[in-house]
Every structure is written in structure tokens, then in C-alpha cells.
Amino acid sequence: MDFALTEEQRLLRDTVREFARSEVAPVAGELDRTKSFPYELIARLGELGLMGIPYPEEYGGGGADTLSYALAIEELARVDSSVAITVAAHTSLGTMPIYLFGTREQKDRWLPELCSGAKLAAFGLTEPEAGSDAGNTRTTARLEDGEWVINGAKQFITNAGTRISGLVTITAVTGGEGERREISNIIVPNGTPGYEPGEPYRKMGWNASDTRPLSFSDCRVPEENLLGERGAGLRQFLQVLDGGRIGVAAMGVGLAQGALDEALAYARERRAFGQPIGKFQAIQAKLADLSAQLEAVRLLTYRAAAEKDAGQPFTTTAAQAKLLSGRLAVRACEEAVQIHGGYGYIEEYPVCRFYRDAKILTIGEGTDEIQQLVIARGLGL
């Protein structure tokens, strides 16, 4: 078992780390405060070839593996979760359905723009009545004169309403009734009449990312916008979610590391009773525990990525990594705020933003409770 990264993986990690420190960190607080989408940063990430890391070079992607992608997401989340989720939702959720299930024509049409970052892709599964119960999709699409006529709504969708958003892939009921309902995936380009991204949500965190509801009212797209086999939509999206959990787990690792970084720096500088607070055992114990738990979750996340790259079953491992990394991120941010004392409650310090950003990692991409169900199934229960 080799725990060493390849030279290419180290180079990618170090490139993203330097970008996050030099270009993201100086503006992250202001983007959060003003709730501004990071267009310039996304453009720079595209220029660096980081918006399509795991996709083939023939489409303009980086041709890298899943572990390389996880390393990049980890380094971005270490500094700012809004930028990290923008890249992660675009890469492992928005773009992946087209890569996995698209026709050659669909791939040629969309992947070059998506891999370059010129356009963003969104993933439309969640609805008012279909969150954790993903099979309860209410959005419908009926075939009429060679077009899908779509009616319904989606909610909590990332990357759908920016000025560079290119498409959303949605689940919709395309036939059948009751338990025999047929759910399919359909590509809906931005700007299609009848498709309206709603106003962005006011959120606790991830304030510089784009999250909003979507509505479809007699929205018409060509029949060939069906993605993959008709009726296979739910199975396809569950497959996409498995891979997406590796990216979200990497976000949890990165955010926990960022919180630990800030706490360590503060503990070395802040003095009380004549010495740095890092000299007190109470502070040392908190930091030591976080460090140990972080390394364990990091290895679990890397293992999920390695299993996926090796073509091995990774569903259970990805769910375990997502479950534990999200919980650790919340705890690490809470401890970092506690170590900062009153300053941790002030927006001037990054740990305040980190704390607000952390909670969604136990909810999005499948709640902790859904991860527990997935893991239980993997245990044969």
C-alpha cells in the first residue's frame, strides 16, 4: 500500500494551494460579505485548467484522476468554501452526467465549454417534495411533437443562475404511474423559454456561491436532450451522487484543515497569563485531537477516490468519508472559534466564516442520515 502522491498529484496540489493562498484568500471575506459570485476567480481557475480536472484532454479536461481532483477541492476549501463548492458542483455533479451518459454529440456540444470553465453546469435533482426522498420527483416531461415539455420545480440548485451558467441536467417523470413511474434525465440549456432560475437564497454560509430555486413552465427542449437511456434517470443520478460525495468529503477535509490552520496560528500568537495560549494543555488537547481525526478522515477520503480510480466499488467508502468529514468540519470550526474566544465571533477573522460554511456539509449531497442508510446497505443490513 503506497500512501505517497505522484509527482503530478503533488504539482497539482501545490498549484491549487498557491492559487488559493495568493488569489482566493485576499478576497474571500469581501466576496462573502457582499454575497458576490467569484467570476474572476472562476475565470482564472479555467485558465489554469482546473475546471475539468478529471475529464479527458480531448474535451479540454485535465486528464487527471479522482484523487487529483479531491486534492484540488481540499486546497480550495482550506481557504474558501464558496469557491470550492462552485468548482465541485460544476465538476462532479453538473458536468459528470453528460460525460457518463451523454451521446457523442452531447459531449462534443457541451464538454469543451464546461471543462474550460467558459460555462458552468448545474445538477437538478432536489425538489420541494423530493430531497432525501429522491425518487419522489414531481417535475414532469411529456414528449410532444419531437420535444420534451417540462413542468415543475427544483430547489437548492448550485450554479444555475450565474451569467456563465450553461445548462442544468434535471430528473423528470417521463411516463408511468405510482411505483412504475419512469424517471429520466434531460438537459435544459439556460435561456430556454419556460425555464426560469429564481432569486438566490439568503443563506447561512457559502454566500459567494450561487444557490437558487428553478421553475419550468411548458419549457420545451428537443427530444435529443434526453440524457442516457429513458427511464434510467434515478439510477444515473445516484451513480453521479456517489462520485460527488468524494468531492464534498474533500471539502470537509479542506475546511477542517483550514480551521486547524487558523487555530494553530492564533494559539501561537495570542498571549494570556504571560505566554502563548498554545502552551496551555487545554488548547493543546483540542488541537491534537483535531489533527489526529483530520488525518484519519483525509486518508478515508483519499481511499474512496483511489477505489473509484481503480474501478472498485466505492459507494460505502465515499458515504463514510462524506459522513465523517462533514461532522469533523463542524467540530473543527467550532473548536477554532472557541480558541479564538471573542475574536472568533467577529467577521474579521476567517474562522467566523468557516463556522457558518461548515454546517451545510452535513446536509448537502445527502444528509448525514442518508449517508448512514447508504453505509448500512453496504454492511448488508
Which three cell numbers mark 117?
470553465
- Helix, coil or strand: residue 346: coil
Which three cell numbers mark 189?
440549456
Amino acid identity, position 368: D
Q: What is the dihedral of CA 248, 75, 115, 199, to 10 degrees?
A: 60
The active-site residue out of 74, 179, 365, 369 is: 365
Taking a C-beta distance cutoff of 8 angstroms, is the pair 175, 182 a contact? yes
Amino acid identity, position 39: Y
Say which residue the cell 451523454 belongs to: 102
User: Quick one: which of 307, 312, 333 has its CA closest to 254?
Assistant: 333
d(CA 63, CA 335) in angstroms, rounded, equals 38
Q: Which residues lie below 8 Å from residue 229, measured CB to CB, with a gap of 6+? A: 101
d(CA 80, CA 25) in angstroms, rounded, equals 7
Can you count the helices (H) and strands (E) in the chain?
Answer: 12, 10
Amino acid identity, position 27: V
Does the annotation count 199 as an active-site position? no
Looking at residue 127, the DSSP 8-state letter turns out to be B
Active site residues: 365
